[in-house]
Amino acid sequence: MGFRCTAVPCSCCAWFMLHQRPMGRQKRFRGFVSTVGGSMGWLGLDDTDSLAGGCTTAVFDNLLNSLPTSTTIGTPRLVRLWPFAQRRTRGNAALGVELLTDDVSSLISHLEAWWANHIAPLAGEVASSEVSSREQSPASPGMVWFDDQPPSEIYAKAVSKEVSLSELPTPERSWGGHGRIGATAAVAWNGKQCTWEAIAWRKGDVDSPRRVDSTTVEAVDSWPEIIFSRDPRRGTSLIAPRGLSPVLFGLRATAEQAAKKACHLLVHSEETEPVQGWRVFQTNQASGDHLGDNWLLEVRDVSIDPVRKHAHIITNGPDVLCYAEGGPVNALARWVKEGDVIEVAGLVDHDEQLHAERLKLKSWVPRSRQRPLCPECLIRMKSMGAGQGIRCPKCKRREPDEWIDLPGSPPFTTWVEPPVDARRHLARPLEWEDMSRLDENLPNDEEQSTS
């Protein structure tokens, strides 16, 4: 079962909305058509942070709080992009929002000043990674303003492949560098298939250990609308990021009001450190928008990385990488052998390697064989020697040389996915899928046949 956004306010949780940290004095709206003469537009922002610190969500929150009181703020959105983008940011997420204003020129003037004073100075920040050899790109903030929402096709590209600045639609106003790609994609997203995330930002020293009430996290995790907040295998929280970041936690949900209510409980707990503020974003997380057709492949060989323990499946198409952290995916990848047929859902990187996010064994070759039973005695027959056939050890009945193939028992015969703590932000849980449709998600492409 999937989840689609209705973006309709729920009066039963109005108390929590009233007690949320004020987001400036601006009014908020839900994408309604203006009947009072105001002008609408779309604002996007991306690429203000680096491994050295910072977070684009915090910058965006500060920007929204600074807007003129004549500006009405729509539902802010957090949009994850293609995981292999060469200049991807730490979280690879861009921000966007629809705004309603009675004075566009004043709003643009405000954005110009805010950009120059608060965002442009963030450009150029860069730090090396302690866990990845990938060259880190310096922060290249970008901001865009569109009078009308750009076509959703640019989002579809940015979430599934590399996009260049030259491919972007032309905004009415833009600022900065490569961040304009993500900023444009964020405002182009149609938001039809979404989840929600409540993000709280730290008030004090971002170097100190985070303090979030674990009892409340465990309590809200039991709500059916709260998702991916705890690792069920280890019983540990998944809502607090690692590394230098002003984010205290990000709590995800399938419903906006549940995200608001749970976040309110957390930030007002005495066991949670003081927060600078918090805001709920509509997101494309868990949408699966980044995936295209599945791959149907025949296995040629399998190797295991001696250090990192990743499984590499050599096929008649792209090589398939199954990370050690992938749990069931890695376990199934280790079991397959030459001649097996697998179905893979995943992304192909710049090196033409397919990163498996889901894996299914379609058919498999025999794993062992044995001699047949004697038709008279039902005792296993034995070889009499090379080229001499087989014989029953009891009645001495003879038969031509023969073997019976044994199919073997794979660890899984259905679709498998990584555990919740090892999935991509965009990965859609199998339990939300119509499995019959998932099995039919194969292209009519001869290049992917196993013949």
**Residue 92 belongs to a domain:** yes
Burial 171-206 (b: 16+ CB within 10 A, else e): bebbbbbbbbbbbbbbbbbebebbbbbbbbbbeeeb
| Residues 247 and 133 grouped into a single domain | yes
What pLDDT, on a 0 to 100 scale, did the predictor assign at position 21?
A: 36
**Residue 394 maps to a domain:** no
In a domain, 300, yes or no: yes
Domain co-membership, 213 together with 182: yes
Please state the length of the chain.
451
Domain identity same for 189 and 147: yes
Which of 283, 306, 338 is at the close of a domain? 283
Same domain, 276 and 317: no
Q: What's this model's pTM, rounded to 2 decimal places? A: 0.83
| Radius of gyration of the CA atoms of the chain, in A | 27
pLDDT computed for residue 235 by the predictor: 79
pLDDT for the residue 277: 97
Judge whether 126 lies within some domain.
Answer: yes
Are residues 413 and 350 located together in one domain of the fold? Answer: yes
Among residues 58, 76, 182, 187, the alpha carbon closest in space to that of 122 is found at 58
Residue 237 and residue 342 in one domain: no
Q: What angle do CA 84, 85, 88 make, to 5 degrees?
A: 105
pLDDT 10s digits, 260-277: 999 999 999 999 999 999
Tell me, yes or no, whether 211 and 144 share the same domain.
Answer: yes
Please tell me the distance from the alpha carbon of residue 324 to that of residue 318, in angstroms, as a whole number.
Answer: 19
Q: What is the pLDDT at residue 138?
A: 80
**Are residues 270 and 313 located together in one domain of the fold?**
no
Q: Are residues 258 and 353 in the same domain?
A: no
Backbone CA torsion sign across 137, 422, 238, 283: positive
Any domain includes 220? yes
Quick one: pLDDT at residue 204? Answer: 77
CATH number where 343 lies: 2.40.50.1010
Same domain for 238 and 361, yes or no, is no
Look at residue 407 and give its three-state secondary structure.
Answer: coil
Write out pLDDT tens, residues 118-144. Answer: 999 998 764 443 444 445 568 899 999
Q: Do 350 and 435 lie in a common domain?
A: yes
- The values of phi and psi at residue 44, to 5°, are -130, 150
* Boundary of a domain, candidates 258, 283, 308: 283
In a domain, 21, yes or no: yes
For the chain, which ranges sit under pLDDT 50? 1-26, 32-36, 126-134, 444-447, 449-451
- The tally of domains found in the chain comes to 2
Q: Is residue 69 part of a domain?
A: yes
Q: Given 226, 251, 283, which residue is the final one in a domain?
A: 283
Q: Is residue 249 part of a domain?
A: yes
Residues 349 and 213 grouped into a single domain: no
Residue span of the structural domain in which 274 resides: 11-283
Within its chain, how far is the Cα of 223 from the centroid? 21
